[in-house]
Copies of this chain bind each other. A is one copy, B any other.
Amino acid sequence: MIKNEISFRVRYAETDRMGFVYYGNYAAYLEMGRVELLRSVGMSYRALEDQGVLLPVRDFSIQYRQAALYDDLLTLETSMTELPETRIHFTYVLRNDVGLLLTTADTTLIFVDQNTSRPIRCPNALYSLLAPFFTN
């Protein structure tokens, strides 16, 4: 299992007329979480893409428990619980600065070869960085 945590402030642009973070804007937060988790094991997602491997999201579900508000300092915990084969799965827990649970979510992404637009297995370069975390 791999866990990573990031903190960031809610931007004005992310709020909506209700004064809450717009429900679609959490997707960008989750993306930051998984990108930083990958960076923490030594993999730049940008470099992966530059090598011709895309990671489009295949499935996404999210449960909104409490609203995130403007200027809130949020903490996002991102976890990878399985070594990826053809899919890569992340789960997320978002809390505000007093530890209140705001949102839980999970995403499944696939690996795609940019040239052929076809699904591929997890590239070796990434797999070998992740594997040590899943031995026991």
A residues bordering B, Cβ < 8 Å?
9, 11-20, 22-28, 31-32, 35, 44-46, 49, 54, 56-64, 67, 70-71
Contact = CB atoms under 8 A, between A and B. Distances in A.
Contacts of A9: 32
A70 B19 CA distance: 13
B17 A23 contact: no
B13 A70 contact: no
A20 B11 CA distance: 15
B59 A61 contact: yes
Number of copies: 4
A27 B25 CA distance: 8
Nearest to A31: B12
A63 B120 CA distance: 19
Interface centre among A18, A49, A57 (most CB of B within 10 A): A18
Contacts of A60: 23, 60-62, 64
Contacts of A16: 12-13, 15-17
Contacts of A11: 28, 31-32
Interface centre among A16, A28, A63, A67 (most CB of B within 10 A): A16
9 contacts: A12-B17, A12-B31, A12-B45, A23-B56, A24-B25, A35-B71, A45-B71, A56-B67, A58-B63
